[in-house]
Chain A
Amino acid sequence: MNRRNFLKVAGIATSVITVSPVLLKEQNSAKAQQQKRSYQEALKEITGGSPVKSSDKVKLIAPAIAENGAVVPVKITVNHPMEKDNYVKAIHILAKDNFEPRTLSAYLTPANGKAFISTRIRLAKTMDVVAIAELSDGTFLKAEKPVKVTIGGCG
């Protein structure tokens, strides 16, 4: 290695060493900013504070006991017309005690024909799962169901 190459390598190495702590610090502060959101906060983000009415029009099907909390099957059907001016605009799933309760938002149009979704969600522990139907007139309907998962285990 000649002197020119040595100086190039030394320069790059110095830059990396100098910049790394700055980057690491930024990453750490980004991690520190992540905070647990409450169910109420997540709900307000969806509804904007509008009331949410429990309704048997919203059918939430989920296991009473989920064998694996990482993949909990959930099916939601909203018995509501899907017409041009009267339809289910969105179906939201919230897992009440998850770090981030807002789990999924599926936006629909009358072209969907039926307000139905089927998915798998992750639950950190035993908690209530909430399905919220957002209607085109701006009203919100919901259904709630407790889902139990293992209390824990060791890896």
Chain B
Amino acid sequence: MFKKTAVFILILGICITSAKADIKWLKDLDTALYKAKKQNKLILIYIYSPHCGYCKKMDRTTFKDKEIQEILKKYFIPVKVDKDSPEGEMIKAEYGYLGTPTFHFLEPDGKKIKSIFGAWEKEDFLLILKYFAEGYYKKMSMTEYFMNEN
């Protein structure tokens, strides 16, 4: 009996931890703008398609990474929209669309900083997120930021 209870508690603990660690994607921009202004955070919009293998890969790998989740939680208000949903159509019309996945990085007031296309490995996406989170985007272009000598 004690053994069963211990296993149950362990499983429950794992479930709570993983639920806690997952990224809390918002589904609409208005809520994101409200929260971003209030918390003075950047907005990351992730436009995906349920048919896009690269989006699924990012969901399975990059967005499951703890470091990615932490930096998103600390510096960004994340929004995830289906490219064909009404919200997705509105965001595409407002900020543009490069294919799936498209990532739009916005200032807290909704002004677009930059759009990036494609799926990224977690190490690379982390560096991209740091470029925005640490405010380097105010000083130099992303290309300049990543340009370095062999």
**Partner-B contacts on A (CB < 8 A):** 58-68, 73, 131, 143-145, 148-155
User: If A150-B119, A153-B117, A154-B100 touch, does A65 touch B54 (CB 8 Å cutoff)?
Assistant: no
Contacts of B49 in A (CB 8 A): 154
Given contacts A68-B117, A73-B143, contact A151 B150 (CB under 8 A): no
Contact: A64 with B148, CB < 8 Å? yes
The interface of chain B, by Cβ under 8 A from chain A, is: 49, 51-55, 57, 98-101, 116-121, 124, 127-128, 142-143, 146-150
Contact present for B147 and A73 (CB under 8 Å): yes
Given contacts A148-B124, A151-B121, A154-B99, contact A62 B147 (CB under 8 A): yes
Report the minimal beta-carbon distance from A41 to chain B, rounded to whole angstroms: 23
Chain A nearest CB, measured from B53 CB (Å):
7
CA distance A64 to B126 in the complex (A): 13
Interface SS of chain B: mixed
Max count, chain A CB within 10 A of own CB: residue among B57, B119, B143: B143
Pick the contact of A67 from B53, B99, B121, B142 — CB < 8 Å? B142
5 more A-B contacts (CB under 8 A) besides A64-B148, A66-B143, A154-B51?
A60-B149, A63-B148, A73-B147, A153-B98, A154-B100
Nearest-neighbor residue (CB-CB) of A146 within chain B: B150
Cα distance A44–B100 in the bound complex, in angstroms: 39
- With contact pairs A150-B120, A151-B118, A153-B99 given, residues A65 and B127 touching in the complex (Cβ less than 8 Å): yes
The minimal Cβ–Cβ distance linking B96 to chain A, given in whole angstroms, is: 14
Which residues of the partner chain B approach A143 to less than 8 Å between Cβ atoms? 150
Residue contact B149 to A61, C-beta cutoff 8 Å: yes
Chain B residues lying within 8 Å of A144, measured Cβ to Cβ, are 150
Q: Within the complex, what minimum Cβ distance (angstroms) separates A91 from chain B?
A: 14
Residues of B within 8 A of A66 (CB): 143, 146
> Could you tell me if B124 and A152 are in contact, using CB atoms closer than 8 angstroms?
no
Out of B51, B101, B146, name the residue touching A153 (CB < 8 Å). B101
Q: Are the CB atoms of B146 and A152 closer together than 8 Å?
A: no
Q: Which residues of A contact B121 (CB under 8 A)?
A: 148, 151
Shortest beta-carbon distance, B85 to chain A, in Å?
16
